[in-house]
Amino acid sequence: MSWMKENKFVAGLVGFTAVVGGVIFVYGNSQGDAFDEKMLEYEDLKNKHTLLQKSKPYPDAVNLKKRQRGVNQYTDVIDAVRSALVRYQPGKLASLTPEQFSDAQVKVGKMLRADFEAAGTTLPDGCKFGFEKYAKVQAKAGATAQLNYQLGAMQWLLGQLAEVKPEELVNIKRAELPVETAAGTPAPSGRGGRAGSRSRGRASKSGAASEKPYQLMPVELSFTATEASVRDFLKSMVNSEDYFFSIRALRVRNERQTPPTKKDANFPEIRGGGAPFQPAGANPFAGIAFPDDADEGDGQVPAPAPAPAPSVEGQHILKQVLGSEKLHVYISFDILLIKGAAAGAEASSAPSNG
């Protein structure tokens, strides 16, 4: 005890060394256990990797062929759809001045109005066929190309509608295109230097990512016509060879909301006579002549009574059943502007193999 008192520094150093050594021993032992666990995991993964290298991975040859066949069929479908859409590409759109577009719009409006008047169709007041906005203001110079393409598509489609002679053209509503609004024109950056360059770079990248190979031009159309007229119009719309129309919604409502009643089926007269038609009653052979009923003098069988026929008034229900009743039609559709070079231009610019 006296030695420790006399050699306090040495005794403290020995004690501190013992404590530190114990801590190091405990820590090293624990790290050794963790090292052993990691080595066991490594050996397990190594064995699995070796096993995978020696075995043939999934899929097998049969499933691989099925997968490749499905990919090829999907590619064929994509190519067929692309070939069908390529023919709708107008190529580079004609660039018009605002004045030229205004003149074209007025000309198309007069032609369509004349077609509908010749068909006996009632038009809404102040109808400009979807371009009412530009009856008072001029289009932006950067929007005339797309507007002129849409104007041509509207002229073709409404011309098809005039040919089926609808009773009334109720409404035409054309949604504004992005190029018509301020949002459709990129705003110039007011910041200079590197910060402005970075913002312009981000904008160009996002614009390139959001660029689509087509432009949607939404239109809403409502009119009143017969069933046959509606059918012919829709048929011409989906079979157009010049423009691609995509129908989003179609609503058809009968002009008459109540179903036919027995009164509508009233056939009051018999053709050739004034007596009202009466059912045969219990005798199913009433009105039919038999040989026994013939006069014994001439031996001739009398002609049967004429079959009852409905009068003009009694044909009302037949017209409803046969589809002559007017229909109120609402169509929401898109005119698709397929971007890219026209199909003919692509074919002519392609290199020749000869």
Whether residue 273 has pLDDT greater than 50: no
pLDDT higher than 50, residue 189? no
Helices assigned H by DSSP within 89-192: 98-119, 144-163
Cβ neighbours of residue 279 closer than 8 Å, sequence gap 6 or more: none
Q: What DSSP string runs through 35-62? A: HHHHHHHHHHHHHHHHHHHHSPPSS-HH
Residue 348 has pLDDT above 50, yes or no: no
How many residues appear in the chain? 354
How does pLDDT run across 298-336, given as a tens digit for each residue?
A: 555 555 555 555 555 555 555 555 556 789 999 999 999
Higher pLDDT, 124 or 8: 124
Q: What is the pLDDT of residues 63-121, one digit of tens each?
A: 888 989 999 999 999 888 888 888 888 888 888 999 999 999 999 999 999 999 999 99
0.95 surpassed by pTM: no
- Could you read off the pLDDT of 196-253 as tens digits, one per residue? 444 445 544 544 445 788 889 999 999 999 989 999 999 999 999 999 999 999 999 9
Say how far apart CA 104 and CA 96 lie, in whole Å: 10
Helices (H), the chain: 2-6, 8-54, 61-86, 98-119, 144-163, 193-210, 227-238, 316-322, 343-349
